[in-house]
């Protein structure tokens, strides 16, 4: 038991040992390995051609048991379908969490929309993306009441992020980067299954440990508006 505890498979509370969440996911995947192999085969080429592994994030390599991941790809009819799905999920109701390696082209419009809705959005982003978001917040002019619950970002300075993930109450959208480090904005994986959604929320908590403190874009906008009125 001491060895299991040292390998972070179990933790001890008083006189009892309990499986850690990551160990539970691993056991579940072992029991349902055949189905997961079928799921991985469906998106094998996509995964093999992109960066997936994160040394400090074991949960990223432990895919949830799901019946199907839908691989959505850009086409001649809708070349922006992958980015549209990402932004659509970011604008969902409820608690939305995102790991965002890519600077969305319509971020200013997204910021305006979320300030007018009772949304709850948090994102973990690389420092360059955080700087662009902060710049947009400083330039944003608002003449209506802010209804947003929170719009928080957490910059990650000394760690690399290779994925884009957005999880809401009804789906998870995942995009990956090429081995060159450039985000592939033409393809995303989408799942509506609850086990995949739960896995994504847990994965977000793992990424949450990489950053320092959250910055509230909502508060920045409120302070800017207050100073404008006083001036």
pLDDT tens-digit profile of 28-41? 655 555 555 555 56
The confidence band for 210, taking pLDDT boundaries of 50, 70 and 90, is confident
From CA 165, how far away is CA 98, in angstroms rounded? 5
Share of the chain above pLDDT 70, in %: 83
The lowest-confidence range among 42-56, 124-138, 205-219 is 42-56
Tell me, which fold does domain 44-230 have in CATH? Endonuclease; Chain A (3.30.870)
Question: What stretch of H or E contains 219?
Answer: helix 217-230
Please tell me which residue, 159 or 136, carries the higher pLDDT value. Answer: 136
Summarize the confidence of residues 87-111 as an average pLDDT: 92
pTM: 0.77
Please, what sign has the CA dihedral across residues 227, 104, 55, 40? positive
Tell me what pLDDT residue 218 has. Answer: 93
Residue 231 has pLDDT above 60, yes or no: no
Domain ranges of the chain: 1-31, 44-230
What integer best gives the mean pLDDT of the chain?
A: 83
């Amino acid at each position: 038991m001491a060895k299991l505890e040292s390998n972070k498979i179990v933790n001890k509370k008083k006189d009892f040992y309990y499986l850690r969440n990551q160990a539970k996911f691993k056991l579940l995947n072992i029991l349902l390995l055949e189905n997961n192999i079928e799921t991985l085969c469906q998106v094998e080429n996509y995964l093999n051609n992109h960066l997936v592994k994160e040394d400090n994030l074991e949960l990223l390599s432990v895919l949830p048991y799901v019946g199907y991941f839908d691989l959505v790809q850009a086409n001649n009819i809708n070349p922006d379908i992958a980015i549209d799905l990402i932004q659509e999920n970011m604008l969902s109701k409820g608690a939305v969490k995102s790991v965002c390696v890519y600077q969305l082209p319509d971020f200013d419009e997204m910021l305006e929309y979320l300030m007018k809705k009772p949304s709850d959005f948090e994102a973990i982003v690389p420092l360059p993306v955080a700087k662009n978001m902060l710049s947009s917040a400083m330039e944003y002019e608002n003449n209506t009441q802010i209804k947003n619950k929170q719009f928080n970002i957490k910059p990650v300075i000394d760690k690399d992020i290779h994925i884009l993930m957005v999880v809401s109450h009804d789906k998870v959208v995942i995009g990956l980067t090429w081995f060159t480090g450039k985000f592939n904005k033409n393809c995303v994986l989408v799942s509506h299954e609850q086990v995949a959604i739960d896995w994504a929320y847990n994965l977000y908590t793992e990424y949450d440990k990489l950053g320092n403190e959250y910055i509230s874009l909502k508060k920045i906008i409120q302070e800017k508006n207050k100073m404008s009125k006083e001036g």
